[in-house]
Each structure stands twice: as structure tokens, then as C-alpha cells.
Structure 1
């Protein structure tokens, strides 16, 4: 078993998987536990970018690009604008609960130990995987040939929403 673990760690792809997985978990835990909203958004962006790294490891470059562009970029900027536009007064903090936090830590460690044992005992069938070389190109061809009408309808919908937002902003200004 120790020999398999050494082989596992010598593979660079496995090390990158562990790195990105830990970043996803750490970002999610920080998102839940941080107090300031801006810090939460940074933790969320870290989680999104780490997920994009996992998509690259899975050879899904298009999904990784969309993850960075839409979620890590646009959603994070949208949240920061929302924070800047609203008023956030500091409210009373919750009292510290060391017993609750200790039980939460103990439960989390137990949960991960159970998951680890379940994965170690599982027998996964080995299947042959054939990766498509130009999957982004194939997605583009499929999008612009078979799904061109929904694609155009979404672009019209986004344009109408953008114009509507401008009209609403102009009315509020007057």
C-alpha cells in the first residue's frame, strides 16, 4: 500500500489534483466562516478559480474558461459592486462557542475519515477513456450549427435586459 501511495505522489497530475482540491475546500470553508463580505467574495473567487484548475485537469478546457470568465470574473465583480452599492453596518457579532466549534471539527474529521475509508474499499472498474482533441472547437461547431436559434435568442434577451437596465437607471436619475 505504501508503494502505491509513493507512485500516487510521484505523478504530477495527482499532486495538482490534491492542490486544487485543497484550494476548493479551503475557499469554501473560508467563505462560510469569514465575517467580512469582501473577504467572503475573495474566498469564493479562490474556489471558482480552483474549480477551473480541476476542469483543466479533466481536459475540459472550455468549462475551465467559462468558469473563470463567468463565475470568477463576472459574478465576483457583480458581488463587489453589490457590496459597494449597499450599506453594510457592522452588527453585533455572535458569541464565541468553543464547544460547538470543537464538536463541528470532530464531526468533520469523522466525516472525512468515513469518506476516506469508503473510497479505499471501493472497487472502481477500469474503463477506456478516449478524449476528443479539439473539444472546444466541437462545442463551437455544435453551438453554431445545431443550436444557433437558442444562441441567438439568448443574445437578444441579454441585449433587451441591458437596454432595460439603462432605461431603469435613467428613470432613477431623473
Structure 2
């Protein structure tokens, strides 16, 4: 087993562990930290795939910004940590059947996957290639996304101010 396979096994195990912890932990803040573990391990997987730009974006956007937004959302809302659904055998069975169907579907999708000839220059200077594509061919969608994010930010501020005035 070479180092790349070992890194893949370790990072994928951490991603799965983070997902399992997120589902099984009781405190919401601990759940967010488990999601951060999953995000960081996915960034490591992107690095092993020679997608450094996507890995950095994964760390900056998801591990940083989205996680902080989740923590602020938790802190600013009222929640009762004792509200938990009870596990019933029917529900557990349906979840188990869903998991089995999902894994069978993924297995057959991977098994029947067609690999074309390898691209030799795909990972060479991929950040530069992404920058050239974004700022030459996709400038308008890039700017529209920034306008939508600005509108969402202004809307969130207006909604927060209205709730403060009502209280």
C-alpha cells in the first residue's frame, strides 16, 4: 500500500467518523464540530485528487464560514436539546433498507462506470485554469452570485432589525 492509498483510507475514515458523530452526538455545538471534521477531511481528499483550489475553498467556505454561521444560528435561536425522537423498530428497519439500497445503487454505478482516456494536463496549474475560466467565460454568473449574496446579507440584517424592534 502506497502513501496515497493510506492517506485516502485515513481521510475517508475521518469523514465517515465525522458524519457518524454528527448523527449520534447530543449537543448541537458538538454536532457542528463533527461536521467541521468531515469538511476538513474532505478537503484533504481533494488535495489527494490534485484539486488544491477546491480544497482551499472547502476549508475557507465550509470549514470556516458555514460552520461559524451554524454556530451563530445555534446561539441566536432557542432550542431544547431534550427533544429527541424515539427509535422504533420500523423506523430503524426502513433506514437500514434505505442504506442497503443506496450502497447497491452506488456499487452498480461505480461498477458500470466508463473511464475515457486519461487527461494528462488536468492537474497542471488547475488554480490558474479555474481563474481564467471564471474571469473570462463566467464573469456574469460570478458577479450575479455576488449580488445575490449581497441581497441575502441585506435581507438578513433587515429581518434581524425587525425582530429586535418587535421585542
State the TM-score, normalized to the length of structure 2: 0.75
Task: Provide the C-alpha distance between the structure 2 equivalents of 1:93 and 1:170, rounded to a whole number of angstroms.
Answer: 32
Larger radius of gyration, structure 1 or 2?
Answer: 1
Number of the residue aligned with 1:166:
157
Shift of 1:151: 1.1
Number of the residue aligned with 1:29:
20
Number of the residue aligned with 1:68:
59
Q: Describe the superposition over 1:19-59 as per-residue Cα deviations: whole angstroms up to 9, x where unpaired.
A: 10110111111111111111111111101110010001000
Task: Provide the C-alpha distance between the structure 1 equivalents of 2:6 and 2:78, rounded to a whole number of angstroms.
Answer: 43
State the TM-score, normalized to the length of structure 1: 0.72
Task: Provide the C-alpha distance between the structure 2 equivalents of 1:126 and 1:154, rounded to a whole number of angstroms.
Answer: 33
Pick closer, same or farther for the CA change 1:92–1:69 going to 2, 3 Å.
Answer: closer
Number of the residue aligned with 1:47:
38
Unmatched 5+ residue regions in structure 2?
none
Pick closer, same or farther for the CA change 1:141–1:93 going to 2, 3 Å.
Answer: closer
Contact 2:26 2:81 (C-alpha < 8 Å) held by counterparts: no
Aligned partner of 1:83 among 58, 61, 74: 74
Task: Provide the C-alpha distance between the structure 1 equivalents of 2:37 and 2:3, rounded to a whole number of angstroms.
Answer: 21
Aligned partner of 1:144 among 135, 145, 148: 135
Number of the residue aligned with 2:126:
135
Shift of 1:90: 3.5
Task: Provide the C-alpha distance between the structure 1 equivalents of 2:124 and 2:24, rounded to a whole number of angstroms.
Answer: 41
Contact 2:51 2:123 (C-alpha < 8 Å) held by counterparts: no
Contact 2:19 2:35 (C-alpha < 8 Å) held by counterparts: yes
Shift of 1:158: 1.7
Q: Describe the superposition over 1:117-151 as per-residue Cα deviations: whole angstroms up to 9, x where unpaired.
A: x9xx99x9795441331111111111111111111
